[in-house]
Structure 1
């Protein structure tokens, strides 16, 4: 192979590579590609949530306390069909709350494990609040529909209490039956494991 031929081959390979990258970014598929790679990391089992052992119990801000309902937080939510609910309505259940967005690769990476966990849980005892931070609700809806996830997805319908603010997503909170935050985990994790399932179930008793 001549030097000229090798140079042409190298140019073609670079053009193809750059073209693929451009296509991934312009179509938004780069997020899912990166998320898929991060899912491989989760599959190794090294990213299990350490919530049950190490996360501290957080105190509820007095400005967010709702004494009339005896539930820790007054937090209006809206599902993907526009139905309004309030976090207070989940009183008596353990709540798995996950802050995510369709543009967040780590969120996409951990979501299959959350969905598997959801399908195993008794939803009369454990409620799932997948709280989308997408500015456009339709993006969240299209993503969920495309993936076929069946867990409940919500959007903030008002200001979020300060205790749920996070500098990173995904962030997962575990709330007790009275609504108080029992655990918090920032970053992606594999929630589909026996240890974490048993932790959630222990809180329902």
Structure 2
């Protein structure tokens, strides 16, 4: 799985983007340990719009996107939006090292066994899933290229208004 992610991350970094689109169905529930040591359960966030962003420190597009995601979190957090950054690396110290240089305000969760990544069929880095207030998956973004944040903003606003 990690080898597959490395290859896809490299492809994405070289400028190739994978498809994005609409989703339907309930978001698989999970509990992961957060950066501050607390367990975070997705179903506890029901009632909020949730953006799940699967990332890794070795992923160039992830690094490019991280400050943009932090801006979205700060901008829409008081309107019923939250963002969970799910680090997929087996060694969380690599993610910690990256976050020391690029701090973010949104919760970072650790998925060292890729259990949650597999539940969401993550096959590209980064991968982003938008979840509505009822806990249903609505949008999927595979990869990141500059400009995707326009889609993120549009979708966040739409889901907050529902």
Q: Return the match for 1:143 from 90, 98, 108.
A: 98
Q: Output the CA distance in 2 between the equivalents of 1:121 and 1:56.
A: 21
Deviations 1:91-118, CA, capped at 9 Å, x for gaps: 0001111100001112112222212222
Q: Output the CA distance in 2 between the equivalents of 1:141 and 1:161.
A: 19
Q: Return the match for 1:56 from 22, 40, 44.
A: 22
For residue 140 of structure 2, what is the aligned residue in structure 1? Answer: 184
Q: Output the CA distance in 2 between the equivalents of 1:155 and 1:123.
A: 24
Deviation of the 1:189 alpha carbon? 3.3
Unmatched runs of 5 consecutive residues or more in structure 1: 1-34, 42-46, 61-71
Deviation of the 1:163 alpha carbon? 4.7
Q: Return the match for 1:172 from 109, 114, 128.
A: 128
For residue 22 of structure 1, what is the aligned residue in structure 2? Answer: none
Q: Are the equivalent residues in 2 in contact too, given 1:93–1:125 (CA < 8 A)?
A: yes
Q: Which has the higher contact order (CA 8 A, sep 6+)?
A: 2
Q: Are the equivalent residues in 2 in contact too, given 1:77–1:157 (CA < 8 A)?
A: no
For residue 132 of structure 1, what is the aligned residue in structure 2? Answer: 87
Give the length in aligned residue pairs: 146
Q: Are the equivalent residues in 1 in contact too, given 2:90–2:111 (CA < 8 A)?
A: no
Unmatched runs of 5 consecutive residues or more in structure 2: 1-9
**RMSD value over aligned CA atoms?**
2.7
Structure number, greater radius of gyration: 1
Q: Output the CA distance in 2 between the equivalents of 1:168 and 1:189.
A: 13
Tell me the TM-score normalised to structure 1 length: 0.62
Q: Which has the higher helix share?
A: 1
1:112 paired with 2:112, answer no
For residue 87 of structure 1, what is the aligned residue in structure 2? Answer: 42
